[in-house]
């Protein structure tokens, strides 16, 4: 009896947190179909914002920049981070700890300070623009990659690699066939984290972007005072729906297949 009450309370609490997390998202989705430009009055159902969205050069440009930035920075960060993590793992204890301490700096430091420090440095030798934002994003993305790849490297069984080498595989072949598959889970989650962080970043982009370049975040920020264009709600709803479907497929399709195959 007590157990059932506890189960019931647990469920109730999970739903409560769920509502807290998703309430603003629901508001956003509803507004994307609101015919009234006002944010408080419901003016009927419309798809206008969705059609106008694709006609707006400004929005499409910011979207493209955001996606290219996320893909490029997450890819480069995953490369440098994964190879770096393999190297760091081979270090002596003292150096290992030192490098990981430095790895923590961009994560511990306030975004605003990281952004300003990078900006102050960039203005000394390069123009602010897409390049500077890309470097900044790679910088804050690498730690996420290292922190998700590192545990996998520590768990990795080195003897399998050694055995492959003894059996005549060259270093690259053994790496591709033995090491990489063992690290794949960590690399993928690192890449995914980096991609998400890049998409959602505002403060660091804001300080390093210079004039002319806009990501979705900085564009929305510049609209706050003037009033957000409803197209933005539509765009966010689309992105949200897209990611929702992707995550659903990634998470549940393999499991269903497994279950069906049994």
Partner 1 sequence: MENKRKLNKRTWFSMPYILWIIGFTVIPLLVIFQDAFVTPEGGFTAQNVLAIFEPVHLKSMLLSLEIALACTLICMLLAYPLVLALRRLKLGRQGFLLFVLILPMWMNFILRLLAWQMILSKNGILNMLLGFIGISPLPIANTWISILIGVVYDYLPFMILPIYNAIAEIDEDIIEAAKDLGAGGFTIFKKIILPLSVPGLLSGIVMVFVPSMTSFVVSDVLGGGKIQLIGNVIEQEFTKNVDWNLGSGLSVSLMIFVLISMAFTMKNDPEGKESAIW
Residues 103-122 that bind partner 1 (CB under 8 A): 103-106, 108-114, 116-118, 120-121
With respect to partner 1, which residue has the nearer C-beta, 25 or 47? 25
Residue 212: CB minimum distance to partner 1, A: 16
Tell me how far CA of residue 104 lies from CA of 110, 134, 138, 148, 205, in angstroms. Answer: 12, 20, 14, 13, 20
Q: Does 144 bind partner 1 (CB under 8 A)?
A: yes
Report the 10 Å Cβ neighbour count for 185. 13
Quote the least distance from Cβ 260 to partner 1, whole Å: 16
Binding mask 39-78 for partner 1 (x = CB under 8 A): xx--------------------------------------
* Contacting residue, 47, 200, 245, 257, with partner 1 by CB under 8 A: 200
Q: Rounded to whole angstroms, how far apart are CA atoms 179 and 103?
A: 23
User: Within positions 77 to 96, which residues make up the interface with partner 1, using CB under 8 A?
Assistant: 80-81, 83-91, 95
Under the criterion CB under 8 A, does residue 33 sit at the interface with partner 1?
no
45: helix, strand or coil: strand
Alpha helices in the chain (DSSP H): 2-32, 48-55, 57-89, 93-108, 111-122, 130-155, 158-166, 171-174, 180-200, 203-208, 216-223, 230-261
Binding-site member from 70, 187, 204, 216 for partner 1 (CB under 8 A) = 216
Q: Does 5 bind partner 1 (CB under 8 A)?
A: no
63, 71 contact by CB (below 8 A): no
Tell which phi-psi region holds residue 38, choosing left (phi > 0), alpha (psi between -120 and 50) or beta.
Answer: beta
Q: Establish if 172 lies at the interface with partner 1 (CB under 8 A).
A: no
Q: Is 196 in the site for partner 1 (CB under 8 A)?
A: yes
For residue 213, state whether it binds partner 1 (rule: CB under 8 A): no
Taking CB under 8 A as the rule, does residue 14 contact partner 1? yes
Measured from the CB atom, is 47 or 243 closer to partner 1?
Answer: 243
Closest CA to 189 of 178, 199, 197: 197
């Amino acid at each position: 009896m007590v157990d059932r009450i506890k189960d019931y309370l647990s469920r109730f609490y999970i739903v409560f947190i769920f509502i807290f997390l998703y309430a603003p998202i629901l508001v956003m989705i509803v507004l994307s179909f609101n015919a009234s430009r006002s944010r408080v009055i419901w003016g009927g159902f419309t798809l206008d914002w969705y059609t106008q969205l694709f006609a707006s050069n400004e929005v499409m440009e910011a979207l493209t920049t955001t996606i290219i930035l996320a893909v490029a920075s997450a890819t480069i960060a995953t490369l440098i981070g994964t190879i770096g993590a393999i190297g760091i793992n081979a270090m002596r204890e003292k150096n290992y700890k030192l490098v990981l301490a430095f790895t923590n700096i961009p994560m511990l430091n306030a975004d605003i300070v990281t952004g300003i420090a990078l900006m102050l440095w960039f203005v000394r030798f390069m123009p602010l623009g897409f390049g500077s934002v890309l470097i900044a994003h790679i910088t804050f993305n690498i730690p996420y990659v290292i922190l998700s790849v590192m545990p996998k490297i520590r768990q990795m069984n080195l003897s399998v690699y050694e055995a492959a080498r003894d059996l005549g595989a060259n270093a690259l072949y053994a790496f591709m066939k033995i090491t990489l598959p063992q690290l794949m889970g960590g690399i993928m989650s690192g890449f995914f984290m980096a991609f998400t962080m890049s998409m959602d970043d505002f403060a660091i982009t804001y300080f390093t972007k210079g004039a002319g370049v806009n990501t979705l975040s900085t564009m929305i920020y510049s609209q706050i005072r003037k009033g957000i264009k409803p197209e933005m709600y539509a765009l966010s709803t689309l992105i949200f729906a897209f990611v929702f479907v992707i995550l659903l497929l990634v998470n549940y399709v393999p499991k269903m297949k497994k279950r069906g195959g049994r």
